[in-house]
Every structure is written in C-alpha cells, then in structure tokens.
Amino acid sequence: MIRILCILLFAISAFAEAQQTGRVYRLGYLSSGTASPATDPGFGALRKRLQDLGYMEGQNLHIEYRYAELDQKRLQDFAVELAQLKVDVIVTSPDEPVVRAAQVATRTIPVVMPGSVADPLAPTFWGEKQRAPLVASLARPGGNFTGLTNLDSELHPKRLELLKESFPRISKVALLWPRAQQQKQTLKEIEIVKQALNIEVQSRASGTLEDLERALDEISRQPPDALLVARSAVMLKNRERVIGLAIKRRLPAMFAGSENVTVGGLMSYGADLGDVYSRAAVFVDKIFKGASPSELPIERPTKFELIINLKTLKQINATISPHVLARADRVIR
C-alpha cells in the first residue's frame, strides 16, 4: 500500500512540475504497422508508463501518430513529416525499416528505439544506399538515436531448442533470415544447437522479395519439418504468405515477432514488447527533461515471452508438448 502511495505521489509531483512550466511536450510515434493507438499493445504500454511519469495526453503531452500500413514509401514520407513538425522525440515501432526511415529523415531530433534493431552498430541498406550505423557505441551512442536493441538474431538458437522441445519428431528446420543477420557468432551457436538436438537446419535467405520468393518455392517443393522465421522488413510485409504456406503444408512455425502470432502464426519467442515499450518511455522522459540521446546508453531486453496460437495448432493438425504449453507466457485460443 505504501509503495502504491509513493508511486501515486511521484506521478502527481511530476505532473505538477510539468504543469508549472506550462510546456506541452510533442511526441511523434512512427510505426510500419496497420494498428491504431487503441489496438497497438506496445504503444499502450508506452503511453501507460508516460502517464505514470506525469505526462497526460491532451494536457502536457501531444502525440502525433503515424501508421504506414506496411507501405515503405508512406513510412518514409511519415518520417519526414514528423521531422518537419519538429516533435521533441520520435518513438519508433520495433521494426528496423522504421528506424532506417527515421535515420534518413532526421539527424537532430532524438529517436528512441523500443527493440527496433538487433545491432545498431551495423551498417545496413535502406532504399538503394548503404546507411551508416545508427550509433557510435552502445555505451555512448553519439548521435540522435538511443533506446533498446531486440537481440533477434541472438535468440535463434533458443528458438530452435523450443521448436524441437515442442515437436520432438522434427529433424529438418528451414531458417528464413536476412543475410545481414547471419553473424558468425550466431551461426556458430546454431551449429552447436543443431548438433546437440540432432536436427538439420536449412538456411534460406529472405532479406529481399526475390530471396523470400525463392525460399518459399523451395519450401513448397521440398517441405522441411518446421520453419524458423526471423524478423525483417520483407517478412513483415509478406507475413501472410509465409503463415499461409506453413498452414497449408502443416508446418510448425516459430517466429521472432509476436505480431505474427496474433495474425495466425503458430508461435513466437522474443523480447516482451510491453516491457520494452515501458522502458522506452523512461528514455523519452529523460530526453524531455533535457538529456541528450547521444549520452543515453543503448540497453538490452531483459524479459522475454513465449506465445502460442492454439487455433493455428489445430489447423496444422499437430500436437505440442504439454511442458512447452505450460511454460507459454500467452496462449491464443
């Protein structure tokens, strides 16, 4: 009871301080998705934590929402639009294309990433050009980007283990992932895991539409026993095709992002988006109060969640290990 009272008093104090300054903070939210603020669970966690920190929408906080609906051109246009509006901070959805669009649009407005990229130190391609790394180092980003990483590629070995534990009879897994995520250390860890589990892993590049179409054609002609699907811009835009193929071929499929399970994917394992967004709100608060993103260290997720869609399990006519089902953080029925 005392703890709740302390939190309430802190929120009232922070809100009163903001009201005294008379300032209205302007936050830009840039998403590649098709949700709205009311149905975007990640953003809901961000907004709730901001309220706890004393920022009330419509009073001392104004939010500009931009949902690109999986359209890359619209995403870039929205990023430019938010930069032109000169919002105080831009928060991205947890997708690398959103971060890269913001990188092209502004080098001055602070950008907070809630687990949007696996490695902000790595260069990547956006459009036709190679883009520089987002930050100079994790400890001292040095530019206008800060926030949290997503550890996606580092979690692939754990996802393989969960697949095998869920469906012990599988012996051949197709791994769909962009070449940019195929770091040596991750490949080495996957090699160790697949030998320990006695499974064959067929690596399939999927970073471009051409790569993905080629991979899906190969999977259709020679189906593996299961799929492991990494998060990427191409995957996000074509997820219904991948999910549809997995269901048609009755293949258990493990995804990196929980957003795939809510639209019909079988299962996912990754950072807890609610926790990541909540922590991102703390970055926003610090920047509102004058901190520079260049000096706010990049953090790593600490909470992870396993999500299973029982509707899809029934569609592929499969039986999952009850031990794994009991460990699921969320089950869609």
Residues 2-45 have pLDDT tens digits of: 555 544 555 555 555 544 458 999 999 999 887 788 778 788 99
Pairwise CA distance, residues 86 & 156, whole Å: 38
pLDDT cut 90: percent of the chain above it: 65
pLDDT score at 67: 93
CB 303, CB 183: distance < 8 Å:
no
- Asked which of 68-77, 166-175, 243-252, 319-328 is least confident by mean pLDDT, the reply is 68-77
In this prediction the pTM is 0.83
33-40, long-range: CB < 8 A, 24+ apart: 33/67, 33/68, 33/69, 33/70, 33/93, 33/95, 33/259, 34/67, 34/69, 34/70, 35/67, 36/65, 36/67, 37/63, 37/65, 40/93
Extract the tokens encoding 155. Answer: 């979690």
Angle of helix 2-21 relative to helix 41-52, nearest 10 degrees, comes to 80
Strand partners, 173: 201, 226
Q: Residue 112: left (phi > 0), alpha (psi -120 to 50), or beta?
A: beta
Comparing C-alpha atoms, which of 172, 169, 166, 153 is closest to residue 226? Answer: 172
**What mean pLDDT do residues 286-304 have?**
96
Q: Is 48 exposed, middle or buried (0-12, 13-18, 19+ CB in 10 A)?
A: middle
Extract the tokens encoding 136. Answer: 């100079």
Is 125's pLDDT higher than 60?
Answer: no
pLDDT score at 126: 56
Q: Which of residues 184 and 120 earns the better pLDDT score? A: 120
